Amino acid sequence: MSDDVLKLAYEAACSALREQDATLTSLRNRATGLLSAAAVVTSLATAIGVVDTGTGQGAMLPVWAGWTLLALVCLIGVSSMFAVWPAANWNFGPDPAKLLASAGTDVDEVRRSATTALVSAITINDASIAARGKAYRVGAALLLAEMIVLVAAALTGGG
């Protein structure tokens, strides 16, 4: 493999790892927003009246709605926390210590070895991003379910 091709492959692998890091950061930000949206819906449910407000009318929302909303908020919290939790095997780029340990070795061989390691890291990171992306999508679906339950409960009234 020519020197230029090795450089290109190494730079492409480093660039892919930077893009993965940006993707993970974006996913974590969206998961945090999801949790915030769930908190707003929960506040709205409380304002509408999941509990008896002392007006003599009882709770404005049915009991089933309160329990369902509680379960949904908990599940949204779990999915959001999974998305923002630190990734145990996350790789950010080449290991400088390993590169330094290769001093005196042919630079093309070092670059080839580093690029191979980076490609492996990209695969590991992809699995982490996919799992967190799935958790985020589940959380978004649960948020939609939370809003549907709230509207349905408000329409059916207390009882």
The separation between the first and the last C-alpha atoms of the chain, rounded to the nearest angstrom, is: 74
Q: How confident is the model at residue 143 (pLDDT cuts 50, 70, 90)?
A: very high
Tell whether pTM > 0.85. Answer: no
Residue 86 reports pLDDT greater than 80: yes
Q: How confident is the model at residue 52 (pLDDT cuts 50, 70, 90)?
A: low
Q: How far is CA 139 from CA 35, 42, 83, 104, 107, in A?
A: 8, 15, 10, 51, 47
Q: SS3 for 87?
A: coil
What mean pLDDT do residues 51-69 have? 74
Residue 48: φ, ψ to 5° = -70, -35
Domain that holds residue 149: 3-156
Tally the domains of the chain: 1
